[in-house]
Amino acid sequence: MQTMPTLLDLLNPSQRDAVTYNDGPQLVIAGAGSGKTRVLTFKIAWLLQQGIPANHILALTFTNKAAREMKERIGKLVGEETARYLWMGTFHSICARILRHEAEHLGFTRDFSIYDTSDSKAAAKQILKEMQLDEKIYKLGNVLSKISAAKNAFMSPSDYAANNDLQKRDRFDRMYDMAEVYRRYELRLQAANAMDFDDLLLNTCRLLRDNAEAAAYYQDLFQYVLVDEYQDTNYVQYCLVKRLAEPQNHICVVGDDAQSIYSFRGADIRNILHFQREYHNARLFKLERNYRSTQTIVNAANSLIRHNENQIHKDVYSEKEVGDTLSLRAYASDRAEAEGIASLISEEHRLRKTGYNEIAVLYRTNAQSRVLENELRSRNIPYRIYGGTSFYQRKEIKDAISYFRLAANPKDTEALMRVINFPARGIGDTTLKKVSECATTHGISMMEVINQPDENALTVNASTLTKLRNFATIIQHFQEAIDTTDAYEFAERVLRESGIMTAAFLDQSQEGIDRKENLDELLSAIHEFVDGRMQEGVSFTPITDFLSEVSLLTDQDEHTEDHTERVTLMTVHAAKGLEFESVFIAGMEENLFPSQYCVRPTEIEEERRLLYVAITRAMVRCYISFAKSRFKNGSLDFSSPSRFLNDLDRQYIKQYEASSQPSFRSAPSQQWGFAAPPRMPRFTPLDTLTQSHIQAEQAKANPVRNASTEMPTDSQFAANERVRHKVFGEGTILRVWHDESNGNDKIEIRFDKVGNKTLLLTFAKLEKI
DNA sequence: TATCCGGGGTTTTTT
DNA sequence: ACCCCGGATA
């Protein structure tokens, strides 16, 4: 181990303070590029040197990648051998690890399956069918997000049913039976000995709340708790961290409120903003020196984020060179923007010798990648797009893994449903329905019914019975092998004997060939996994070990080092934590960035933080652009520049004419020479609406803003007409008008049941009565 | 039981 | 424009 003086010498004074503070709860606000990971890794190294054993330190991250990188860096500081015993991982993987030990206390076995989103979907879909609920009203995504939100808020189905706000909201959505859906969903997962992603956190929290012995054990075990990206924690994660750190509260949370961009996944920025309220003796540390970007980039980003009300004040600064101003370009269309960006990239590469790897194009929505892709391809600029289905989501991989899962956990109904007729065995819907019903009547799992059809009086004909028996035999063989065969051998055998490999072989189409390759890749991944274990001294690795890792893996984790030089295309969200020499931010338009779906001030602030994240990815150069028209959802949409452009201090930005086009004709504004962005419609929260109603309103009724020219103002709706809205029920149109300032059509409605206030709503969600 | 058509919906997605 | 899903069809 390096001696500590040397180690501490590598830090600046504020980093050093944060690392060596040990007198209680600690909040480290780490500005963009300020060496956040450095502080965390050094802090852990320092704690180890203070004599805290590695296995008593818990460090929680959000991504596997972050955990892996941090572990590597700590390994370099203190030695791999020590680092290995740290409890370091994602919230989900640490919880899964705890739950594997404690499953029995919660009514699960240690072999519980982890359901991914598609399993959850399938499970919820079954329940909706079983309850015969209208799928037009109970939309799957909606149902799941309600369940997920409840779980993230640490609410059981009975809490859900007892919660007035939620009940009111569900009445607005005409989803009167949501609490029951949630209850059955939970029961279904329990019966399948399965947990979804949210359950991993929720159940761990439950355990710590309800089981004093277990709580004491883990509180004693984790003498020091550290959390990365604390601004992204949700309520359950907050509870978890709080509980684990008790009673000593040796806790250190690190994050940047200015980079909180995941509220739609339940992240609650208040966790970081109110940390000091939560822990009265907490000390605040700020890392304000940015080591990544030029002064100009840092200053520009600061000028933007200053417009947010809710934030912890900080003075982020850079001591690197002043650097070039950011550039801003207006293009006539999305196509022109893509051409412009492609040509600027060529130029960068040719003249400045910027490596393609050092260039990224960032955008708000994945849909924007297509035009960019086309232009880059036509110029032979190599690129790589992030986003899209990850390896482990591919059908053939999910099928293979479902076989593993079923062998490990025969109650895993979703896995069973996936594989029972793949490859085709002539077991169709009718049979499955019978099996499922039989399972329900006898209170057992579907696999048990299939294993013992006679004992359970399953009424199918002889040929179907044979098919079922054959399937049962295959799975039984797998089950027998699972504890005695090593993961790789087991996987190979399953792929062979299940018929998956044969099916892929027989398919001569390109997709078939790809599938075969993917399966081979899966096998080699498992091989690698087993080898890795071997090197750690584990002599036998069963497939269950692989399974518990793999279900928590995402596409982020497969980006194995690809050293080919390519330009990176990704959403701003995906870019968080990364840095590039040159960054292009495309599509800076109203209704795109900020997204058309956000209205409330807090949401606008989140979008602003998102742009802050985008700008601060740039080390040296940052190009911003917007298009005046863009193909969106199939039709041409005229757009105006993002309001955020006016938040940016003009001294850091230079506006360029977009190549050939004679630029925009709009009246010059004080700031940029184009029309000021349209003002937000005044969104009046209704007296009788709680916050959750308003959230429901957003989800359901996109307020009209900048609705473009395609909405026929006069032909469809007129003042005094009665209309019905999907969320708010019936109302009277007060007026319909064309907003000259931005060319939008707007409508104002007074709804009968919701407090005689008016709302601006989208036409699409309205029907005439 | 695989495939084709029509309709509805369209943000971001660390696990 | 495109994707996903469900129902109908071959």
| Confidence at residue A91, expressed as pLDDT on a 0 to 100 scale | 97
Q: What percent of chain A has pLDDT over 70?
A: 85
| A40-63: pLDDT as tens digits | 999 999 999 999 999 999 999 999
| Confidence at residue A101, expressed as pLDDT on a 0 to 100 scale | 95
Nearest to A444 by CA among A458, A424, A430: A458
Chain B: nucleotides below 7 Å from protein CB are 1-2, 9-15
| A329-388: pLDDT as tens digits | 999 999 999 999 999 999 999 999 999 999 999 999 999 999 999 999 999 999 999 877
Q: B12 C1' – A362 CA distance, angstroms?
A: 12
Whether residue A689 has pLDDT greater than 80: no
Q: C8 C1' – A726 CA distance, angstroms?
A: 29
HSE-up of residue A510 (Cα within 13 Å, Cβ side): 0
| Confidence at residue A433, expressed as pLDDT on a 0 to 100 scale | 84
Identify nearest nucleotide to residue A231 by CA to C1′ distance. Answer: B14
| Confidence at residue A436, expressed as pLDDT on a 0 to 100 scale | 86
Mean pLDDT of chain A: 85
Least confident interval from A100-114, A180-194, A311-325, A647-661:
A647-661
Task: Give me the DSSP letters along A540-596.
Answer: ---HHHHHHHHTT--GGGT-----S--EEEEEHHHHTT--EEEEEE---BTBBTTBT
Q: B12 C1' – A319 CA distance, angstroms?
A: 32
Q: Which residue has the higher pLDDT, A695 or A625?
A: A625
Average pLDDT over residues A187-193: 95
- Beta strand residue intervals within A234-358, DSSP E: 251-255, 283-287, 289-290, 317-318, 326-331
Identify nearest nucleotide to residue A117 by CA to C1′ distance. Answer: B15
Whether residue A70 has pLDDT greater than 70: yes
Q: B5 C1' – A633 CA distance, angstroms?
A: 20
Q: C9 C1' – A430 CA distance, angstroms?
A: 19
Under 8 Å CB-to-CB from A201, ≥6 apart: which residues? Answer: A91, A92, A95, A151, A152, A236, A237, A240
Nearest residue for B10, CA–C1':
A633
- Rounded Cα distance, A268 and A272, in Å: 8
Are A374 and A569 in contact, with CB atoms under 8 Å apart?
A: no
| A607-619: pLDDT as tens digits | 999 999 999 999 9
| A434-477: pLDDT as tens digits | 888 888 888 889 999 999 888 888 888 888 888 899 999 999 99
Chain C: nucleotides below 7 Å from protein CB are 1-2, 5-6
Least confident interval from A142-151, A174-183, A334-343, A449-458:
A449-458
Write the CA distances from A480 to A310, A484, A494, A530, A678, integer angstroms.
58, 8, 12, 20, 67
pLDDT band of A687, cuts 50, 70, 90: very low
- Rounded Cα distance, A440 and A175, in Å: 25
pTM for the whole structure: 0.84
Identify nearest nucleotide to residue A606 by CA to C1′ distance. Answer: B12
Identify nearest nucleotide to residue A129 by CA to C1′ distance. Answer: C6
| Confidence at residue A181, expressed as pLDDT on a 0 to 100 scale | 94
| Confidence at residue A290, expressed as pLDDT on a 0 to 100 scale | 97
Taking 3-state DSSP, the helix, strand and coil percentages for chain A, each rounded to the nearest 5, stand at: 50, 15, 35
| Confidence at residue A695, expressed as pLDDT on a 0 to 100 scale | 41
Q: What percent of chain A has pLDDT over 90?
A: 63
| A277-320: pLDDT as tens digits | 999 999 999 999 999 999 999 999 999 999 999 999 999 999 99
How many CB atoms lie under 10 A from the CB of residue A463? Answer: 9
Identify nearest nucleotide to residue A125 by CA to C1′ distance. Answer: C5
**HEC readout, A665-718:** CCCCCCCCCCCCCCCCCCCCCCCCCCHHHHHHHHHHCCCCCCCCCCCCHHHHCC
Residues of A acting as catalytic residues: 36-37, 228-229, 259, 617
* Dihedral sign from CA coordinates of A437, A441, A445, A448: negative
Strand C: list protein residues with Cβ under 7 Å.
A 121, 125, 135, 140, 631, 633-634
How many CB atoms lie under 10 A from the CB of residue A210? Answer: 11
| A76-116: pLDDT as tens digits | 999 988 999 999 999 999 999 999 999 999 999 999 999 99
Nearest residue for B12, CA–C1':
A573
| Confidence at residue A3, expressed as pLDDT on a 0 to 100 scale | 61
Q: Which residue has the higher pLDDT, A592 or A671?
A: A592
Only one residue has tokens 């939560």, namely: A278
Q: C6 C1' – A321 CA distance, angstroms?
A: 59
| Confidence at residue A678, expressed as pLDDT on a 0 to 100 scale | 40
Q: C2 C1' – A95 CA distance, angstroms?
A: 38
* H or E element at residue A130: helix A117-130
> What are φ and ψ of residue A493, in 5° steps?
-65, -45
- Rounded Cα distance, A487 and A462, in Å: 36
Strand B: list protein residues with Cβ under 7 Å.
A 62-65, 90, 92-93, 117, 197-198, 229, 232, 262, 264-265, 267, 364-367, 387, 421, 424-429, 552-557, 570-571, 573-574, 576, 595, 597-598, 633-634, 698
Are A491 and A400 in contact, with CB atoms under 8 Å apart?
A: yes
| A243-276: pLDDT as tens digits | 999 999 999 999 999 999 999 889 999 999 999 9
| A15-45: pLDDT as tens digits | 999 999 999 999 999 999 999 999 999 999 9
Whether residue A677 has pLDDT greater than 60: no
* H or E element at residue A195: strand A194-196
Are A752 and A729 in contact, with CB atoms under 8 Å apart?
A: yes
Whether residue A698 has pLDDT greater than 60: no
Q: Which residue has the higher pLDDT, A729 or A667?
A: A729
Q: B13 C1' – A469 CA distance, angstroms?
A: 41
Q: B9 C1' – A571 CA distance, angstroms?
A: 21
- Rounded Cα distance, A628 and A640, in Å: 6
Q: Which residue has the higher pLDDT, A305 or A659?
A: A305
* H or E element at residue A450: helix A446-451
Average pLDDT over residues A204-233: 96
Identify nearest nucleotide to residue A573 by CA to C1′ distance. Answer: B12
* A315, amino acid identity: D
- Rounded Cα distance, A760 and A596, in Å: 13
| A487-544: pLDDT as tens digits | 999 999 999 999 888 888 877 777 778 788 889 999 999 999 999 899 888 899 999 9
Identify nearest nucleotide to residue A142 by CA to C1′ distance. Answer: B9
> What are φ and ψ of residue A569, in 5° steps?
-115, 125
